Chain A
Amino acid sequence: MAQQYIIVLAEGTLTSEKRAKSITRELYNITTPLAVQEPYQKDGTVFGVIVHPDGVQHALQVDTEYVIPVHEQATLEKLVSLFPELTADERFNLASYALNSDEFPFAAIIPSTTTVRDQDYMVQNGWFEIDDI
């Protein structure tokens, strides 16, 4: 399976970069909530963040099959708050699904409004320079 990406749009006061980094950080906190984190875990993230050559757009370098273990102390309030475009029901369902599972694949919580892009799309839209060799 080829690489996958989710382009993160700016929402409200959140820039694309800030929102992308917050999402990947909050995904990490599902497995290791802040309350139980060791110092070396304070900067942990799940997905890498890439930046468009325009310096504005940011995207998550995702693996939809990546499995996220759920810690018993995990809360998803901050994560769902990063998706203000979702309805309240969608946000509730997203949080409920995650918290009622010991683990879940990332694909299970991708909002319906989100599109997963492939490498070709990213190249065609100028995210990567064409490998000319």
Chain B
Amino acid sequence: MNTGKAVYGILSTNSGVTDLVSTRIFPEIAEQEAATPFIVYQLQSVAPEDTHDGPSKLDEVRFEFICYADTYDQAADVGVKVRAALDRVSGTYNGVNVESVQFNDVDINIEYDPRRYSQVLTFTFRIKRDDFTIAQGTPVTGAQLGQLADVDVDGVSNGQLIAYNSTSGNWEAADDATGNNTLTGLTDTSITTPADREALIYDSGNWVNDNISKSDVGLGNVDNTSDDDKPVSSATQTALNAKADTSAVPTELNDLSDVTITGTPAGNEALIFDTATSSFKSLPNFTNRFEDEAENNKPSTPFSERVYTVKADGDGIFIDAQSDTPTAGKVIQRKIYHKAGFLESGDAIGDFTLIHTFADDAAYSATTSTFEGFRDGDTYGSPPFTLLQTWEEVDAVQLLLDTYTGAAAAYSLRQLRTAYTGDAIRVRRASDNTEQDIGFSAGEFDTTSLASFCSGTDGFVKTWYDQSGNTNDATQTSTSNQPKIYDGTTGVTTEDGKPAIEFITASSTDLSSGGSLSIGTLFTVTKTSAGGRSTIVGGAGNVFLRTDGTVIDLSAVSALELSGQTIGSYNLVYGLYNGVNSELGNRGGTVATGDAGDGSYADFHIGSKNNQNFAAGTMQEIIIYTSDESSNRTGIESNINTFYSIF
């Protein structure tokens, strides 16, 4: 009888029971010394339900459950849990098919030694019995698959499956359970020990293992060039060669060589051709609106090679740059004139004011910035206005040394040689000892620059530059000994209206070239202001040209005197050192002759000799030749007198 298995199975898996008794559920009799509470179940009876055609298929089995506990309540609690676990259950438990369980009765007892309470519950189990149970006992165990009638397991090997055979109607071992399980075992393969990355290739009826070449997959013409290095095809290259280099193709107007766009054009600017630069320039669209007026209304003489005239309605531009190369014996003069107003028909050069004169033969290209400076400046550039740049060829000016060449030293406050581009003097102003070179303006001493530099203070000559080209510049570095050229109160020192250098005896003023000069002929423009020995030029020893106002002396060995002079007279002295045939003259007149020796001036000074006999008066020009210029005396003195009006 296996109903006890079902009983144990039910109670041991019911938490309500096991919470109280754990696993202390014993068939028939409890373990010795079992702890309380515990349960003992005992078979009371088995009553088969009889049938007329075979063994009984339902047994009614009666069990008694004795719930032991130390207290009455505990015994009752266990009994309640047992009844709850068993009453009216059905199912298969531990292989026993329980159709139903019926509670029958309950009682409670007390035992002594030890004192315990036991609640006794009675249940009737209805147990179903099938053919296996009937045949084998309950339950069926130890039966094997092959013992079944419809199963044939003969010849079955490890891992082999069985399959239903519809012909025999049995489950039998499946066919071919021992087939190939590797690739090499197949009949259509020929595989040697493969290396990594080899592939299976079909070759003449067999699959063989081998590396795959690029030709194997139809890529024989492919090489392993990176994308960046891939060449282009010949056809592509030919096509590319026919294309233009976009980097060299002008993409903007300003890229064109004959276009000049300055900055970012303003709205409505136009592109205008500029004949001066032979290029197009961006200009406001009003620019050159009156081109015809500019060209047709400009004064006819002198020729206006550049015109700019502007009014509120626009402007007019005319440019016809003339030659920069003068014809023989001529010089090119370019000048800028200004008029406050638009250019009108009938305007003549006399209607304009000369505002700038360029140096002779100044090239047109050298004039443009000056012209544009006037045009854009506030002084002359306030519309309406007109600017003219004239061009004309005039007879070349022949300065004194252009005609009478070969001077050894030439000091003057006018320009003596056209090729001379230096300054006249270097001036120091008294207030702060600042120095500045002052040159010429239109061939004459630039008194405007001098006045600007010395304004309010005295100016003194530090250096009188040699215009001969021989750099015999005469200098005085001691400030108190420098002759004066500008008075802070009265302005430029002058003689008969021409700038003059004032030598002051008390101040020991003089200038020195610092070297020697061998004088053949000399011409000086001076005015002596006081008596006493006043040296015009002097050297070491008794070599000099000097005067005391009434007598002029020329000496190298013995004095050649020219008497009858007057203090304060304007003198143009001519001296010729020619031994016994030396000559001395003044104001173009009488010549004294005699032996003045030769004019070897060691330690050449202007205004003194041997730190003595300092000059008193003014000087404006000293021209020295090493040669005998007596034949040119008239011409030279004429040139000088024309400028200074001495006699």
CB within 8 Å of B: which residues of A? Answer: 1-4, 24, 28, 31-32, 38, 40-41, 43-50, 61-63, 65-67, 69, 71, 106, 119, 128-129, 131-133
Contact = CB atoms under 8 A, between A and B. Distances in A.
B481 A48 contact: yes
A128 to B, nearest CB: 6
Contacts of B300: none
A67 B559 CA distance: 38
A43 B612 CA distance: 24
10 contacts: A31-B430, A31-B433, A38-B434, A46-B479, A48-B481, A61-B481, A63-B506, A65-B506, A66-B480, A71-B432
B477 A43 contact: yes
B474 to A, nearest CB: 14
B480 A63 contact: yes
Given A28-B433, A61-B481, A61-B611, 9 more contacts: A2-B505, A3-B505, A4-B506, A28-B479, A44-B433, A48-B611, A61-B508, A106-B480, A133-B559
Nearest to A119: B612
Contacts of B630: none
B506 A69 contact: no
Contacts of B613: 131
Interface in B461-509: 477-481, 505-508
Given A2-B506, A69-B430, A69-B431, A128 B478 contact: no
A44 to B, nearest CB: 6
B109 interface: no
B431 to A, nearest CB: 5
Contact of B533 (A46, A65, A69, A131): A131
A67 B457 CA distance: 12
B507 A128 contact: no
A69 B434 CA distance: 12
A47 B542 contact: no
Given A44-B479, A45-B478, A132 B542 contact: yes
Given A128-B612, A133-B558, A133-B559, A66 B477 contact: no
Interface string B367-405: 000000000000000000000000000000000000000
Given A32-B433, A131-B542, A63 B611 contact: no
Contacts of A62: 480
Contact of A63 (B433, B507, B559): B507
Contacts of A65: 506
Nearest to A31: B433
Contacts of A133: 542, 553, 555, 558-559
B430 A48 contact: no
B601 to A, nearest CB: 15
A128 B435 CA distance: 32
A119 B608 CA distance: 14
Interface in B529-574: 533, 542, 553, 555, 558-559
B523 interface: no
A66 B430 CA distance: 11
B512 to A, nearest CB: 10
Nearest to A1: B506
B63 interface: no
The interface centre, meaning the residue of B430, B478, B559 with most chain A CB atoms within 10 A of its CB, is: B478
A32 B480 CA distance: 14
Contacts of B611: 48, 50, 61, 128
Contacts of B559: 133
Contact of B506 (A3, A46, A48, A132): A3
Contact of A48 (B431, B433, B508): B508
Nearest to B433: A32
Nearest to A4: B506
